[in-house]
Every structure is written in C-alpha cells, then in structure tokens.
Amino acid sequence: MSLSNIFADALSNTLLGMGTVFVVLIIIILVIMLMSKCVRSYENRGKEALEAPKAAAPVMPAAPVEEEEVTDDLELVAVITAAVAASAGTSTDGFVVRSIKRAQHRNW
C-alpha cells in the first residue's frame, strides 16, 4: 500500500465519521424542535380547556376566610429542629428556632 492510498483511506474514514456525527446531531435537533412544538400545543390545549369553563361559570359570593389556628407547636418545633440537626450532622444543642412561617409559594 502506498502512502497516497493510506492517506485516502484515512481521509474517507474521517469524512465518514464526521458526516455521521453531524447527521445524528441534526436529527437530534429536529427531534428536540418537534418535541417542543408538541409540548407547546399540549400546554395551549390545557389552558384553553381551563379558561373556557371559568368564563361560563356564574359568579359566586366570596366565602369567608377562615383564620388559621394559632396553637403551641412545641412538638413540631422539636421535630423540625431534630431534622435540621440530623441533616447538618450535629447535635440540637446549638440550634434555636425563632419562628416558623408557612411558605406562600412552593416551588418544589
């Protein structure tokens, strides 16, 4: 085998490998674009279904707001303190719970 044949084989292998990679990347891009369009149409369909009954529903008087019971939650404080100490890997001696407030927005 001559040097030119070896070079031609190496070049063809390189072009074939790089071509395969680019074709697969293009296919992945197209699949992701198709999936995003499907998700958008599914979300829009869900929003339309939720908005239609709200517009047709009669207006109801507002229900009275119930106040949350304010009780002494020492047991809850003890459990939360123990959980924080266990997660930190220390004892509960150094922890002081000053207040407990319910989160308005839960993003989990």
pLDDT in tens, 84-98: 788 877 777 766 667
Q: What is the pLDDT of residue 1?
A: 79
DSSP H or E stretch at residue 57: none
Model pTM score: 0.40
What DSSP designation does 90 have? S
Place of tokens 């407030």: 101
And the tokens for 74?
């020492």
Mean pLDDT of the region 11-17? 96
Backbone angles phi, psi at 65, to 5 degrees: -80, 125
The CA distance from 43 to 68, in Å, is 35
Question: Residue 95: which residues within 8 A CB-CB, separation 6 or more?
Answer: 81, 84, 85
| Per-residue pLDDT tens digits for 65-74 | 666 666 667 7
- Residue 97's Cβ-count burial label (10 Å; 0-12, 13-18, 19+) is middle
How confident is residue 61, by pLDDT bands cut at 50, 70 and 90? low
Mean pLDDT of the region 21-43? 93
Please state the domain extents for the chain: 1-44, 69-100
